[in-house]
Structure 1
Amino acid sequence: MADYAINIDDVNRAAEIIQGQVLRTPLVPAPRLSHLTSATVCVKHENMQPTGSFKERGAVTKLESLTAEERKRGVIAMSAGNHAQAVAYHARRLGLPATIVMPESAPLVKAENTRAYGARVILHGETLYESADHARAIAAREGLVFVHPYDDPKVMAGQGTIALEMLTDAPELDQIVVPIGGGGLISGIAVAAKALKPSIEIIGVEAALYPSFQNAIRHEDRPIGGATLAEGIAVKTVGQLPLPIVRDLVSDIILVEEPVIERAVNAYATLQRTMAEGAGAAGLAAMMAQPERFKGKRVGLVLCGGNIDARILASVMVRELERDDRITSFRITSNDRPGFLGQVASRLGGLGANILEVSHGRLFLDVPAKGVSIDITIETRDRQHTLEVFDALAADGLEPKRIDSHGLSETAY
């Protein structure tokens, strides 16, 4: 194997260091995800770590390498959230002062959790790049040790311990699918997995809005930036130490669009009964986007993090219900007569639809003076059930008109 920043011996040493300090997470069979993707899927649940992500492995490996004098001075890190929490949590456990610089756009839940672990949190800049510059300036001024989230051999080796555990638990794996941000996770996994099983495929996944490795390796010039659900892998600059490893050992890099990431987050919640943040769900998103790439394979998914805001998760799940036509809105216009709304509600109940919201409109100019429009949002079992409800209402002469995000739709169910 080429001369990279780390090798299998470094990963094995990291495994010894983190033993007893980091949870050995389970590799869980996922029959419902297997059915969804036509592959044999198992999931490495790094979302079960105390801070909710794989970042603890690299953080502990790095922190334990510090000298007594460096520990006394303390550490500083920049992060959008998961690395921040991991460094803060284990720095407190090991008795080290910690400072974390986070982008101003960092998810509130991650910033608050980092403070709760005892770290000094500084919000600075719109991007990780700006946060990193500020963190380095503070490190130089205050003499702190900089703990990089991915461009550090100790951190990379720590993340690689995931592959050791996965191939111990499931040596038959054909592929390991790994989300890519700066490259620390996939580079560590690739080095370890390829050393143990040269035939295994390592497949990386980037958010389509942040194709940093795609650009670097394939010499493309895709635009980078934008609001993504997968903020944990929204990295504009690739790690220089991981780059040659990814170039040589990663078989493929798949870009996933935002709607597919949302679907994957929802699939983890509803099918695997577990929480995945956008970055954590990226691997499953790749399988959903390109099922032919994985069909019939034995695939290990790294669910690298589960720190998703409850409000965002709720929104994702409702949006998925809307995509599946299990939640839909429509308008009925009729004469304004006593009991009409009750009749409509009874009819919908008889059809098995659950009413979520009702809105009356008597003042719209497109409604007769003695008429009323009623906007109703219902929940159904599936798209076919929705079709049946609409057909029944139409047969009753109510002429329901679907309402989508742009208002009344010309498209009928």
Structure 2
Amino acid sequence: MPWPKIVHVRAQEAMMLTIQQIEDAAENLHHVIRHTELMHSPYYSKLLGTQIFFKCENLQHTGSFKIRGAYHFLSRQAPEQLAAGVVTASAGNHAQGLASAAALLHCPCRVVMPEGTPLAKELATLAHGAQVELKGSGFDEAVAYAGELAQRDNLLYVPAFDHELIMAGQGTVGLEILHDLPELDTLLVPIGGGGLIAGVAAAVKARKPAVRIIGVEAACAASAALARRNGRPVYLASYCHTLADGIAVKQVGELTFPEIQKYVDDIISVDEEAIAMAIVSLMEKGKLVVEGAGVVGLAALLYGDKSVQRGNTLCLLSGGNLDVQTMARVVERGLLAEGRFLKLRLEMIDMPGALATLTQVLSELKANIFQVSHDRHKSSLPLGEAEVIVDLETRGPGHIQDILIRLEEEGYRPEVQY
């Protein structure tokens, strides 16, 4: 499905992004955005055997880098167009970035979000003064409806990534990285539609061509890798739900793709377990809350090809808008993947003291019980038996195996629940 035609430009008609455009964007954004922290991580440096750094766009105003491109785009439009209002489609970060930028420029803003968007993201966008409408089962349907609104109501459609002003704004992240870490060797950047990596790569390669730039995407929404294999943007027939929803797009941009082809050295992907574990790891070890899309670079370092890191290696943490409900599910999934959480279903005899016997066995195994659910009324159970669901804190895969073996020996027939 094409993007709204008011912003669609064929790649062959586009000029490549220049360092001057990105420097102009940096000047324009100087008093608007936060020059976010670049942090060295002693823990991950020791773990991975090279110096690891983080660029913390999760600490940016609105919680992600998106305000950079959104403000730069809006500020370059005619005043009469802004007065008429703007519209976009977004599942979260672009919505908040645009809403914040529009508020700064006193511009009416409408945002179309897919039905099922987490309430926290909707409320955050409303808090910036935008009008929000839920439409469509997914991002692509929301884009189509936002395009209809733009044409019907004479609104300016603001693309999430596929425009040179958007790319230039995002590219200012690259200038900040080199300012704070001129000795950079390897840079890992999330890829969705490509606006962030296109701008950052153009900026970094213009100043320091030797830097290796690695794009990272979710394995189940790998549109950039597919485009590179085909030599052009290709529309994914389908993709699965991913924790990295901020970079889950079915097609990389027509304008961002040439920049990716020219400047990005490699594109790799990470699976859902790696993303979940990286979120949990960064919370515990880095004391940083980063959403799935923002943590894919670290996931690649921790759970992917160990040859990725080389020299001074930096992960761009692109956003931190992780709502509390999602965070709870992600933490559980990350702990499960690391072997630190175990949910079991067991059937046992329904008699006084049976549950106490089970908990005694688990205590001997040093498995900490989070929660127990006991049901003796389930119709599928044999007469005289009860079902128990138990959530356990565990110490790794070996500990889980010990628990399962012991419970089997005790006659409980445990079933692992995922």
| TM-score normalised to structure 1 length | 0.87
Gap regions ≥5 residues in structure 2: 1-13
2:346–2:414 Cα contact (<8 Å) kept: no
Tell which deviates more after alignment, 322-331 or 6-15. Answer: 322-331
Deviation for aligned residue 1:319:
2.0
Whether 1:398 and 2:410 are equivalent positions in the alignment is yes
1:38–1:296 Cα contact (<8 Å) kept: no
* CA-to-aligned-CA distance 1:195-229 (integer Å, 9 cap, x gap): 11010011111222222222222118775422122
Whether 1:81 and 2:95 are equivalent positions in the alignment is no
1:39–1:294 Cα contact (<8 Å) kept: no
2:201–2:263 Cα contact (<8 Å) kept: yes
Structure 1 runs (4+) deviating above 6 angstroms are: 331-337, 363-373, 390-394
Deviation for aligned residue 1:300:
1.0
Whether 1:214 and 2:219 are equivalent positions in the alignment is no
The verdict on how the C-alpha distance between 1:266 and 1:223 changes in structure 2, with shifts beyond 3 A counting, is: farther
Whether 1:194 and 2:205 are equivalent positions in the alignment is yes
How many pairs were matched up? 403
CA distance in 2, matches of 1:90, 1:138: 20
1:411 aligns with none
Highest CA radius of gyration, 1 or 2? 1
Q: How does 1:81-100 map to 2 (within 5 A)?
A: 81-100=92-111
> Match for 1:249 among 251, 254, 263?
263
CA distance in 1, matches of 2:137, 2:384: 54
* CA-to-aligned-CA distance 1:305-352 (integer Å, 9 cap, x gap): 111221121112112222333223457777766545445545644654
Q: How does 1:141-220 map to 2 (within 5 A)?
A: 141-219=152-230
Whether 1:317 and 2:318 are equivalent positions in the alignment is no
1:49 aligns with 60
Tell which deviates more after alignment, 59-68 or 121-130. Answer: 121-130
1:51–1:85 Cα contact (<8 Å) kept: yes
Whether 1:237 and 2:251 are equivalent positions in the alignment is yes
Q: Which amino acid aligns with 2:81?
A: E
| TM-score normalised to structure 2 length | 0.86
For the aligned residues, what is the CA RMSD? 2.9
2:17–2:259 Cα contact (<8 Å) kept: no
Secondary structure of the structure 1 residue equivalent to 2:63: coil
CA distance in 1, matches of 2:351, 2:251: 64
Secondary structure of the structure 1 residue equivalent to 2:414: strand
Deviation for aligned residue 1:385:
4.5
> Match for 2:38 among 5, 24, 27?
27
2:297 aligns with 283
CA distance in 1, matches of 2:326, 2:187: 27
Deviation for aligned residue 1:168:
1.1
2:5 aligns with none
CA distance in 2, matches of 1:371, 1:118: 57
Gap regions ≥5 residues in structure 1: 407-413
* CA-to-aligned-CA distance 1:337-396 (integer Å, 9 cap, x gap): 6545445545644654322233446679999977777554322334444556667778xx
Deviation for aligned residue 1:262:
1.7
The verdict on how the C-alpha distance between 1:85 and 1:374 changes in structure 2, with shifts beyond 3 A counting, is: closer
* CA-to-aligned-CA distance 1:277-307 (integer Å, 9 cap, x gap): 1111121222234232324432111111111
CA distance in 2, matches of 1:175, 1:260: 20
1:332–1:399 Cα contact (<8 Å) kept: no
Whether 1:377 and 2:388 are equivalent positions in the alignment is no
1:123 aligns with 134
